[in-house]
């Protein structure tokens, strides 16, 4: 038998939670696992701007022929405008990829061709899939210090020290905003410092930008990319439009390569295209066409921005309410740091024993390490959640 000696693979630490949650028959169950936005009713609605763009596309699309390997050029322009306000486009190229994960993997496979012996440095902690993606591409991975549990902030001195020791040609994965899983971001001054170190040490910054607009705003979140352009470094940006356009199931993202010169960008991008060709040939069109349509139409673009602001605003309000209710329910820990975190996630400070207690006794699902999706906290479950967290702190210290 072909699979006789094959034991089942472990469930995915994030997506596996959704499967377990669906199977749970507890009527009070709460899903704070996967990073998907939910409104107050617990729905993940299609944005109005997306619906309108889809209507336009339904009427205007006249072919289903293949896209180019790197996707439609106008999509690439939209992405570069979103990231860099169309600055210095001659030394950048963008490929439309299947989501942010696809962007990371294409970038990793490309880099493996030219930097086979490099180590990829990941923040400690980081998104559960980063290590898997870069390891699958054949890279060794290592960690740089990032989160300081004692202060619920960044261990910046230790991070700096480690980044300064990283050898030339290694790859450093940085989260632009809404750090996943901690929600704790570098300040603009710290970013400048990190960019200075990259310039001095000549390692390659690879930026994961999956939450543009969920931090402080679309413009504010991308502002940290400007000094990178000024530094004339070569770097990569993996964008995802799952969250900020709500296009999760369309798998729409982008890999933007920025090179030191226009000629270098052209040469490097030819290899990115050969990388894509053997992975999935060329991207599926629909998600990218939605983003481009919204971007080209001023009315749709401002509708999208207002919907994005509304999502960000709801999450910020939930953070405050969560902290207040935890206090009111007598939680024996100060959770006020949660209000200082950005984006969809909160690193709650709960131990693995408390996370297991909440799952087993209360049917409350969050990622190991204590990451919770704040958008999953709803008016209908916040009371139960806060009581349960207070109980877990007592019973599973
Ligand atoms: C998450 O971190 O929950 C999301 O990015 C979804 C995923 O693919 O893990």
Is pLDDT above 90 for 153? Answer: yes
Hey, whose CA ends up nearest to atom 2 of ligand 1? 35
In the numeric block, the tokens 């999956």 are attached to: 210
pLDDT of residue 40: 95
Please give the backbone phi and psi of residue 169, each rounded to the nearest 5 degrees, phi first.
90, -10
Provide φ and ψ at 97, rounded to 5°: -120, 160
Exposed / middle / buried, residue 369 (Cβ in 10 Å: 0-12, 13-18, 19+): middle
Using CA positions, which residue lies closest to atom 1 of ligand 1? 35
Closest ligand 1 atom, CA of 373?
A: 3
Q: Give, in degrees to the nearest 5, the angle at Cα 382 between 379 and 387.
A: 150
CA of 263 to the centre of ligand 1 (A): 35
Looking from the CA of residue 14, the nearest atom of ligand 1 is 9
Question: What residues pair up with 30 in beta bridges, in sequence order?
Answer: 364
Return the structure tokens found at 351: 């131990």
Mean pLDDT of the chain: 96
Find all residues with CB under 8 Å of 140, minimum gap 6, and list them. Answer: 119, 120
pLDDT tens string 269-321:
999 999 999 999 999 999 999 999 999 999 999 999 999 999 999 999 999 99
Token pair belonging to 10: 């472990």
pLDDT of residue 375: 95
Farthest-apart Cα atoms in the chain, separation: 62
Amino acid 397: pLDDT: 80
Strand 371-373 with 345-347, pairing: antiparallel
Q: Which residues are catalytic?
A: 127, 208, 243
pLDDT band, very low/low/confident/very high, at 396 (cuts 50, 70, 90):
confident
**Reduced to 3 states, what is the DSSP secondary structure of residue 373?**
strand
Cα–Cα distance, 276 to 106 (Å, whole number): 7
Residue found by looking up tokens 């040490």 in the block:
201
Contact 152, 333 (CB under 8 A): no
Tell me the β-bridge partners of 72. Answer: none
Q: Classify 81 as helix, strand or coil.
A: helix
Query: Which atom of ligand 1 lies closest to the CA of 12?
Result: 9
Helical packing angle, 48-60 and 286-296, nearest 10° = 110
CB 320 within 8 A of CB 339: yes
| Distance from the first to the final alpha carbon of the chain | 47
Residue 181: cis peptide before it, omega within 30 degrees of 0: yes
pLDDT at 175: 98
Count the residues in the chain.
397
**What pLDDT band is residue 39 in, cutting at 50, 70 and 90?**
very high
Q: How far is the CA of 329 from the centre of ligand 1 (A)?
A: 30
Per-residue pLDDT reduced to its tens digit, 106-143: 999 999 999 999 999 999 999 999 999 999 999 999 99
The conformational region for residue 127 under phi > 0 = left, psi -120 to 50 = alpha, else beta, is: beta
CA of 14 to the centre of ligand 1 (A): 6
Q: Is 108 exposed, middle or buried (0-12, 13-18, 19+ CB in 10 A)?
A: buried
Alpha-carbon span 269 to 94, nearest angstrom: 8
Pocket test for ligand 1, best of 38, 99, 101, 129 (most atoms within 8 A of CB): 129
List pocket residues of ligand 1, CB cut-off 6 Å.
Answer: 14, 34-35, 127, 129, 180
CB-side neighbour CA atoms (13 Å) of 372: 30
Cα–ligand 1 centroid distance for 178 (angstroms): 12
Stretch 20-30: mean pLDDT: 95
Q: CB neighbours of 342 closer than 8 A, spacing ≥ 6?
A: 177, 178, 179, 183, 184, 185, 214, 215, 216
Measured between alpha carbons, how far is 258 from 89 in angstroms, rounded to an integer? 9
278 vs 144: CA distance, rounded Å: 32
Q: What is the pLDDT of residue 89?
A: 86
Question: Over 290-337, what HEC string results?
Answer: HHHHHHHCHHHHHHHHHHHHHHHHHHHHHHHHHHHHHHHCCCCCCCHH
Residues 131, 135, 139: CA angle, nearest 5 degrees: 115
Per-residue pLDDT tens over the stretch 207-260:
999 999 999 999 999 999 999 999 999 999 999 999 999 999 999 999 999 999
User: Residue 59: how many CB atoms within 10 A of its CB?
Assistant: 8
Q: Is the pLDDT of residue 333 over 90?
A: no
- Residue 283 phi, psi (nearest 5): -80, 160
pLDDT score for 343: 94
């Amino acid at each position: 038998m072909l699979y006789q000696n094959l034991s089942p693979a472990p469930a995915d630490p994030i997506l596996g939670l959704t499967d377990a949650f669906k199977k749970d028959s507890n009527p009070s169950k709460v899903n704070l696992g996967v990073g998907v936005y939910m409104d107050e009713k617990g729905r993940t609605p299609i944005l109005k701007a997306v619906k309108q763009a889809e209507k336009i596309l339904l009427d205007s699309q006249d072919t289903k022929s293949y896209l180019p390997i790197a996707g439609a050029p106008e999509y690439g322009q939209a992405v570069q405008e979103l990231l860099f306000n169309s600055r210095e486009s001659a030394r950048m190229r963008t490929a439309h990829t299947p989501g942010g994960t696809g962007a990371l993997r294409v970038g990793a496979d490309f880099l493996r061709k030219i930097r086979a012996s490099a180590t990829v440095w990941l923040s400690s902690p980081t998104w559960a899939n980063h290590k898997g993606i870069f390891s699958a591409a054949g890279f060794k991975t290592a960690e740089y210090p990032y989160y300081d549990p004692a202060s619920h902030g960044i261990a910046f001195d230790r991070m700096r020290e480690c980044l300064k020791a990283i050898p030339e040609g290694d790859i450093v994965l940085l989260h632009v905003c809404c750090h996943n899983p901690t929600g704790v971001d570098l300040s603009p001054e710290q970013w400048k410092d990190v960019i200075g170190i990259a310039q001095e040490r000549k390692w390659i910054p690879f930026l994961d930008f999956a939450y543009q607009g969920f931090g402080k705003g679309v413009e504010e979140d991308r502002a940290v990319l400007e000094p990178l352009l000024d530094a004339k470094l070569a770097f990569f940006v993996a964008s995802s439009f799952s969250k900020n356009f709500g296009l999760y199931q369309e798998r729409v993202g982008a890999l933007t390569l920025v090179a030191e010169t226009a000629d270098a960008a052209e040469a490097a991008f030819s290899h990115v295209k050969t990388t894509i060709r053997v992975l999935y040939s060329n991207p599926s069109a629909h998600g990218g066409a939605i983003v481009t349509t919204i971007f080209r139409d001023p009315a749709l673009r401002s509708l999208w921005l207002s919907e994005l602001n509304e999502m960000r605003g709801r999450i910020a309000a939930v953070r405050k309410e969560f902290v207040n209710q935890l206090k009111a329910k007598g939680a024996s820990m100060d959770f006020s740091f949660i209000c200082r975190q950005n984006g969809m996630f909160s690193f709650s400070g709960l131990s693995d024993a408390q996370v297991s207690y909440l799952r087993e006794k209360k049917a409350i699902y969050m990622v190991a390490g204590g990451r919770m999706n704040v958008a999953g906290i709803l008016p209908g479950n916040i009371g139960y959640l806060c009581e349960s967290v207070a109980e877990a702190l007592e019973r599973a210290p």
